[in-house]
Amino acid sequence: MKELSINFLGYNFKNPIVMASGTFGFGREYGEFYELSKLGGICVKGLTAKPRLGNKPPRIAETPMGMLNSVGLQNPGVDAFITDELPFLREHDTVVIANISGNTVEEYVEMTEKLSDAGVDILEINVSCPNVKAGGMAFGTSTEGVTAVTEAVMKKATSPVMVKLSPNVTDIISIAKSAEASGADAISLINTLLGMRIDTTTRKPVLNNIVGGLSGPAVFPVAIRMVWQVATAVKIPVLGMGGIMTGNDAVEMMLAGASLVGVGTACFDDPYAPLRITKEIEEYMERNTINKISDLIGKVNTE
């Protein structure tokens, strides 16, 4: 029997696969396809202090082996999440991670208090959403911004806190270190890379928001590089994501230093992606006589 479970921030993830925020809603839709308890964990759709309608469509554009999105944090707000969605997620034996995004530091703190009280397992602090005008990535692109949000959140959080970083920065290591120094319990990365497409017939941007976040296999090598850089620079654990489509991709991500692996865009191609990827990880372990998946974390040989 292969040991797929990972202990991360004191929680037992039954496998390293975590559904990435924004691609899996609050689990209800994919929960019609398979039991959510088969998943290591679920990062819920990004929450804001107040309900948000998001950006005008079109919100998606295909790119070579990837896609741009500009949803703009459409969500029912943190209060509705706690009353209407969290009880449903709690019916399933999987780790629930609440992703939060604020316009201001105060909003991050307000949501942290509410979600800690509601007993979500882990908080994911989104300082990296590229699709909103205020807050979001504005905090995540400077060490000062990351420090301000993280320090404020850590004062009020009773659940462990993971900071989700943006790849749209020149020095990911200094940003990651500032999150660690501010008390973050873990780091997740990468959020989407800012991108743009233009319709050559109409000469208009494909996305109504003009720019959007790139995800999918196209970003995978960038994600591997950044996870490796961050994991070697900080002592806190890392959840790695960005373009994971196969079990082999997931293993690569763990070798780069990720303790957990986020899967998102893959579901649009294959609703069963997390289950298939988990199965493929097991097959890799069989082939390579690895008994514990945790033995792979950070084991890339750069000598």
Partner 1 sequence: MVYTTVAKISGLSGMSDPTKRKMLMPDVFLCEIVDKKTLADAVVSITVSCNELARQSSAGQFLHIKCGETRLLRRPISICSLQGGNIRFVFEVKGEGTRWLSEQEIGDELNILGPLGKGFNIPNGKIIVVGGGVGTPPMLLAAESANGKAKKTNRLAPGESRKNDVIAILGFRSADRIILTEEFIKICEKVIVTTDDGSAGIQGAVTKPLEELLKSGEYSAVMSCGQLLMQKAVADMCAKYNVQCQVSLEERMGCGIGACLVCACATVNNSGTTAQDSSGTVIENTEMSRVCIDGPVFNASNVIW
Q: Is the sign of the CA dihedral 245, 246, 248, 251 positive or negative?
A: positive
Quick one: 104 or 229, whose CB is closer to partner 1? 104
Give the count of beta carbons closer than 10 Å to the beta carbon of residue 299: 12
Binding mask 212-251 for partner 1 (x = CB under 8 A): ----xx---------------------------xx-----
Q: Record the tokens describing residue 121, joined without a space.
A: 């397992």
Tell whether residue 30 is a contact of partner 1 (CB under 8 A): yes
Residue from 4, 67, 115, 256 binding partner 1 (CB under 8 A): 67
Active site residues: 129
Query: Closest separation between CB of residue 292 and partner 1, Å?
Result: 24
Distance CA 212, CA 194 (A): 6
Query: Closest separation between CB of residue 250 and partner 1, Å?
Result: 13
Query: Closest separation between CB of residue 237 and partner 1, Å?
Result: 27
| Residues ≥6 apart with Cβ < 8 Å to 144 | none
Distance CA 159, CA 41 (A): 15
Distance CA 131, CA 299 (A): 35
Residue from 137, 267, 293, 297 binding partner 1 (CB under 8 A): 267
Length of the chain: 303
Q: Record the tokens describing residue 12, joined without a space.
A: 């037992």
Query: Closest separation between CB of residue 218 and partner 1, Å?
Result: 8
Q: Rounded to whole angstroms, what are the CA distances from 95 to 123, 234, 250?
A: 11, 24, 19
Tell whether residue 272 is a contact of partner 1 (CB under 8 A): yes
List residues near partner 1 by CB under 8 A.
22-25, 28-30, 32-35, 45, 48, 50-62, 64-67, 69, 71-72, 74, 77, 103, 132-134, 209, 216-217, 245-246, 265-273, 275-276, 279
